[in-house]
Structure 1
């Protein structure tokens, strides 16, 4: 019996060591400076993208798509569509059409306010965004509390998300930062794909919650856009990204 216990202890120690090795391996990110993009890029990832709004002004999407430095090119773009119950991004229609024609995988996002009627916010998004096969799921951009308690933020966000799932038959993506997620959302939303904002620090988002997209910089540069732009990576390969899109 003593030998059995010793054997079990050895196995536990070895398993713990292996888990720690994988954890440390997962944490290491290799950044390489690319002057063409104006930022240090996390080259551990194969799939790179940007997110834009009217503030990027007139975008030459073909130039965005054609730019490639080493193995890095822009494969997807999240585009702001709506905000609150009435606001619609002035550049959305043009960006949406031109990004699609250029061959980029597209996603549309809604800037959410927990102080506004979530049903009306969902209607605002549906009136603007026509998602089709090959597009990314709708995105809930939720990053401000507006002095609302966590319970209100969770309940209103849940309504918007459920309305999107009814309308587009796919589970929406949540965009936020780690602090907001852990403070206001919590494990009630762990089933939703997560797009996490985390930049100005040379490391992966320090979150126990698995994420699919990482917004790692807000000062990147890319051909076809005259302003700085947010850069993102996808945690997976092209097959994984295709599976996430609307069938």
Structure 2
């Protein structure tokens, strides 16, 4: 019979000893595998390093960020003003809308605004709008002196703000006596704005009586100072009781939140109080905001000489 076919030997699995070695303690240890070669990265070119350093310096520069912020601010202002009246735009710093076409702006203050940091007031600016002048309450009636008047009258000019003082008029009191009280409290000097009388109420007296006492007040002021005082009033009060009676005196008219002052072109108005809600740096309460009707030459002519 033919010989039996030889079996093909099957490869044996490696023994435990072939796979592992024993360490000194006799415990099996896997054979160490060869480490991969570490490929060293090529250094960046010197020109690229200089380029990166230059970009970093530009990004860290305050001039760069000033340019970027200014550009962003201008773009945002343009977007924000879309749909608004271009002659009555919003000024975010002052938190009010301000009519365009006026180059000289100011505020009026009293004890209500508390202690004012006039340096901050003067330094505040957005675009071409800044505080050039301030009317400061001095007196009221026959006996009341504003508790913050002397401080405001002293500190505002130091900060470079041109000032005027006003008296809150009470029609039931003698006009000439009120004028004397006002001038005893306020010492006007060259470069100040003219004296102001604030008339807003009839206080239960006839309009004719109010006009008699008001006339006595303004005539006494003009006689003693040589300057025509400014009459402040609201638009409705002016139209109802004053129009046609004091046309020779400069007017300061309150008419809020409107793009234009709605008066006849012949009206002798010099100041327009167009908002009562302005936010001003250095003042902790809202403030009345005003515009002067004229250029810098007209404003200079109005000042006391």
Instruction: Please give the residue correspondences for 1:1-247 in structure 2 after superposition, counting only pairs within 5 Å.
Output: 30-207=87-264, 209-247=267-305
- Note the alpha carbon deviations across 1:109-164, whole angstroms, 9 max, x for none: 00001101112211210111000000011001001011221211111000000111
| CA-to-aligned-CA distance 1:30-85 (integer Å, 9 cap, x gap) | 11111110101112110000000000000000111111111111000000000000
Give the structure with the higher percent helix.
Answer: 1
- 1:207/1:144 CA distance change after superposition, 3 Å: farther
Q: 2:69 maps to what in 1? A: none
Using structure 2 for the length normalisation, give the TM-score: 0.70
Instruction: Tell me which of the two structures has the higher relative contact order, counting C-alpha pairs closer than 8 angstroms and 6 or more residues apart.
Output: 1
Count of residues in Structure 1 that have an aligned counterpart in Structure 2: 220
* C-alpha distance in structure 2 between counterparts of 1:239 and 1:165, whole Å: 23
TM-score normalised by L of structure 1: 0.86
Q: Which structure has the larger Rg?
A: 2
2:235 and 2:290 mapped to 1: Cα distance?
A: 15
Structure 2: runs of 5+ lacking an equivalent: 1-84
Query: Root-mean-square deviation (CA), in Å?
Result: 1.3
How far apart are residue 177 of structure 1 and its match? 1.3
2:131 is paired with a residue whose SS is: strand
Provide the rounded CA distance (Å) in 2 between the counterparts of 1:236 and 1:194.
Answer: 13
- Aligned-pair distance for 1:207? 4.0
Which 5+ residue runs of structure 1 have no aligned equivalent? 1-27
8 Å CA contact 1:220, 1:229 repeated in 2: yes
